Amino acid sequence: MKMSNFNESASNLTLGLIDQNTPMKASLIVTPSIVFLYVNGVMIFTLRKKAVFQEMSRYILFGHMLWVDTLSLIFSLSVYICAVCRFLIIRNICLFLLVSAKALFHVSILNLSLMSLERYVAICFPLRHAEFTSFKITHTAIVVVWVLGLIQCLSEVIIFYSFDSANTVLNSFCTRIILFRLQIYKSIDIAFTCIFFVLVSFVIIFTYASIAAVAKTAACDKLSAKKANKTVLLHLIQLGLGAMSILVGVVQEAIYLSTNYLTAINVMYFCFVVFIVFPKCLSPLIYGMRDQAFCCLFKYYFTFGKGKVKPVLIELHV
């Protein structure tokens, strides 16, 4: 009886969300998302225009982050547009959108640890940086990240089709709260989220402390170490935003049952914009603009070849 009331409440809230969404609110999400999808596309194009960008580990990992954040933004927009346009979503399609979004989220978080480790090797082991971050090793690490990121999703898909394989239409907003109703899903989600965040937090904090310690020695390039520490600090901030985005699901579940529709709509909208859409839009731009060699070439392609391009000089350890 309680689950029935929950589903009814969730469905009613969805209808309220659709009716109350003004064009201004929708444009605040869709317009910047489209703009930043274009920005990400230009960045990916830029990375493919220079051989050095495809060979160095930090640019390979940056390109991987661009692809993951772009796909994640596309899936988030797809779910949002389906709700606004009142599309009836087939359960299998909803399942694909939700597990894909979760996999991309985990891969994005794990990729931060790879980027931090690359900076750690560049500063703490400069003479062996090329050996430890070779093309083959970097791509192997990316494959491992994807395998780890897909474990939870594959587990959820197996459980889903084992217990409920009916291909019915969902007349409500496509969300994990409605589709994954069994307690085992929540337990799996909490377990994997805790494991990944503890692991990545440890890696980022360790690399930050190690780089800071090396920066105090006379043998270290102070400028390079300072820039590397700022990069790792950005990774830590992005990890924090990722942790806050997890709370969106908790907030949704709480407001479904404890608040009025208008309050619930406003809270959900705020969480979606602040913790899901904008971090995916801004983080690639921040990283890209901090790299001098990449930035000037990006500006050239972003302005359709009308900008001035300086020679691409790659600092190996910055």
- Radius of gyration of the chain from Cα atoms? 21
3-state secondary structure at position 240: helix
| pLDDT category of residue 154 using cuts at 50, 70 and 90 | very high
Average pLDDT over residues 183-188: 85
Q: What residues does each domain of the chain span?
A: 2-302
Q: Is the Cβ–Cβ distance between 33 and 281 less than 8 Å?
A: yes
pLDDT at 14 over 50: no
Highest mean pLDDT among 2-11, 51-60, 292-301: 51-60
189 CB-near residues (< 8 Å, 6+ apart)? 102, 152, 176
pLDDT at 290 over 70: yes
pLDDT at 15 over 90: no
In this structure, is the dihedral angle defined by the CA atoms of residues 167, 171, 174 and 180, taken in order, positive or negative? negative
Homologous superfamily of the 2-302 domain (CATH):
Rhodopsin 7-helix transmembrane proteins (1.20.1070.10)
pLDDT of residue 139: 93
pLDDT of residue 64: 92
Least confidently predicted of 224-228, 233-237, 304-308: 304-308
In this structure, is the dihedral angle defined by the CA atoms of residues 77, 277, 244 and 272, taken in order, positive or negative? negative
User: What whole-number distance in Å separates Cα of residue 172 and Cα of residue 281?
Assistant: 27
pLDDT of residue 260: 65
pLDDT at 167 over 90: no
Average pLDDT over residues 124-151: 90
User: What whole-number distance in Å separates Cα of residue 232 and Cα of residue 116?
Assistant: 6
| pLDDT category of residue 148 using cuts at 50, 70 and 90 | very high
| b/e burial code for range 160-191 (CB count within 10 A of at least 16 → b) | beeeeeeeeebebbbbbbbbbeeeebeebbee
User: What whole-number distance in Å separates Cα of residue 288 and Cα of residue 36?
Assistant: 13
Least confidently predicted of 119-123, 176-180, 220-224, 234-238: 220-224
pLDDT at 142 over 90: yes
Query: Two tokens at 181?
Result: 């109703």
Output 259 or 38, whichever has higher pLDDT. Answer: 38
Backbone φ, ψ for residue 310 (5° rounding)? -85, 160
The CB-side HSE value for 5 (13 A sphere, CA atoms) comes to 4
Mean pLDDT of the chain: 76
3-state secondary structure at position 190: helix
Average pLDDT over residues 259-266: 66
Q: Is the Cβ–Cβ distance between 123 and 227 less than 8 Å?
A: no
